[in-house]
Amino acid sequence: MSADSNHALVLAGHGSHYNADSSEPARALAEELRRRGLFAEVRTAFWKEQPGLCEILDTLASPEVHVVPFFISAGYFTEQVVPREMKLKPGWNEVGGRRVHYARPVGTHSEMTKVLLHRAETALGGAVAESSVSLFIVGHGTTENENSAQAVHAQVDAISKLGRFAEVKPAFMEQEPTHHSILRSAASDRVLIIPFFISDGLHSREDIPADIGFAKRGAKWTNPVEFSGKTLWYTPAIGSDSRMAEVVLSRVAEGEPGKKVEGGRSKVESRNGVLPLRFGELTIQRRGEGVEIRHVEDAAAADLIVRNEPFAANGLSRLDPAGKYRPLRTARSLPRGWKLKLSEAEAAEALEHFYPAVRSQMERQARGELRVVSYSETAGRQTGLYTVTAELKPDEVETAIR
């Protein structure tokens, strides 16, 4: 894909209704790729957060889109949920008048070996020889889908062949060998544990350290940790590593055989349009050649914290004034006490963080192009735990809406 492409990139992730950190690696990575100027548009979409998988394609202007599943393994979500919600099959698709390439998940790419090694090098920091360290790669695993463990086993095999560590072993949360056995099975007194997860959710941040025993649930620690006769290093989840950007670009390149993703700006014109003066809980005003965004209740307030980057809107919209997670970003619970000073293009980007997909859907509605999907259609295509939603009676649906 050349530097003047009309391509968009969508990172398709899981997200969470409960954990504010679940989607942060995807959002941060999207921001990094956006800064590189490789694509006309870079967006995130989630199964359990906004913007939803089912709506993201409608918000894009680019004629060609690369959808990269930001998942560790191939399985239920990458093979059923994402394709179903986005109406895709592997490879190139025609959807809504545009070409969409559905790539394989990041976690199964061979480049993940480099990401793991970078994580290991960063954690150890040259303090000890890698050859004296037992490396454990910990995945989720499940007895219900053999694909869940394949990505971990592939990386264990690849890194073992390099001969850099005393040993390289797999461990899993929900299948054998389990993470509980890491210290017992480690041949070395020095143990490095890397969670092969996309984000630092409850599993990687709390469950694994607590189950192994070197940290209480929710407690913080500093590497290395001396525990049970071992010296331990425990890293953040692999999905937050800076090298993940290269993995995503490699997946994109698979959809453009023989072409290399390079730097530069795209040809697609920015759809800034006329910025509204009021948008949800935001007030937007021109200030000289720029734009200022603040909470509507702070319209006349002084001494506000000033931020000058559009991605700051992501952090400002994650938590409510009480510090509780806001999984529904359109909820009327934005915190106050800040203002963003941005260019017009940056302001449009910030609105996508505050209210994902809302502005583009409003524009589609104004043009008479908004795609309306009934509850029965949405519920009818659900699988797994959510099949029960199709059994709700009309009055129950109305009650839930209220």
Cα 8 to Cα 328: distance, rounded to the nearest angstrom: 25
Token reading at 226: 């001396």
Amino acid type, 208: I
Q: Which amino acid is at 22?
A: S
CA 213, 217, 223, 225 torsion-angle sign: negative
Structure tokens at 83: 């394709």
Task: List all residues 6 or more positions away from 195 whose beta carbon is below 8 Å from its beta carbon.
Answer: 138, 203, 204, 208, 234, 235, 236, 237, 238
CA–CA distance from 72 to each of 160, 224, 327 (Å)? 20, 26, 22
Identity at 223, one-letter amino acid code: N
pLDDT for 124: 97
What torsion do the CA atoms of 30, 309, 276, 356 make, to the nearest 10 degrees? 30
Number of neighbours of residue 201 by Cβ within 10 angstroms: 22
List Cα–Cα distances, 326 to 255, 311, 314, 337, 399, in angstroms. Answer: 35, 17, 11, 17, 22
How distant, in Å, are the alpha carbons of 208, 220, 233 from that of 216? 10, 8, 16
d(CA 101, CA 85): 15
**Which amino acid belongs to residue 85?**
E
Q: Which domains does the chain have, with CATH numbers?
A: 1-106+245-265 (3.40.50.1400), 112-240 (3.40.50.1400), 270-371 (3.30.1360.190)
7 dihedral zone (left: phi>0; alpha: psi -120 to 50; beta)? beta
Q: Provide the CA 116 distance to its chain's centre, in angstroms.
A: 18
Q: Which pair of tokens denotes residue 58?
A: 């409608």
Task: Mark out the alpha helices in 232-298 (DSSP H runs).
Answer: 244-254
Beta bridge partners of 377: none
Q: What is the DSSP letter of 132?
A: G
Task: In whole angstroms, give the CA distance from residue 131 to residue 128.
Answer: 9
Tokens standing for residue 390: 């199709």
User: Under a CB-based contact definition with an 8 Å cutoff, are residues 208 and 138 in contact?
Assistant: yes
pLDDT at 362: 86
Written as one string, the DSSP assignment of 371-382 is ----HHHHHHT-
Residue 229's CB: how many other CB atoms inside 10 A?
Answer: 7
Cα 262 from chain centroid (whole Å): 23
pLDDT tens string, the chain, 402 residues long: the values are 454 468 999 999 999 999 888 999 999 999 999 999 999 999 999 999 999 999 999 999 999 999 999 999 998 899 999 999 999 999 999 998 999 999 999 999 999 999 999 999 999 999 999 999 999 999 998 877 777 799 999 999 999 999 999 999 999 999 999 999 999 999 999 999 999 999 988 888 889 999 999 988 878 889 999 999 999 999 999 999 999 999 999 999 998 765 555 544 444 444 555 566 899 999 999 888 899 999 999 999 999 999 999 999 999 999 999 999 999 999 999 999 999 999 998 999 999 999 999 988 888 888 888 888 888 888 888 887 888 888 888 888 888 877
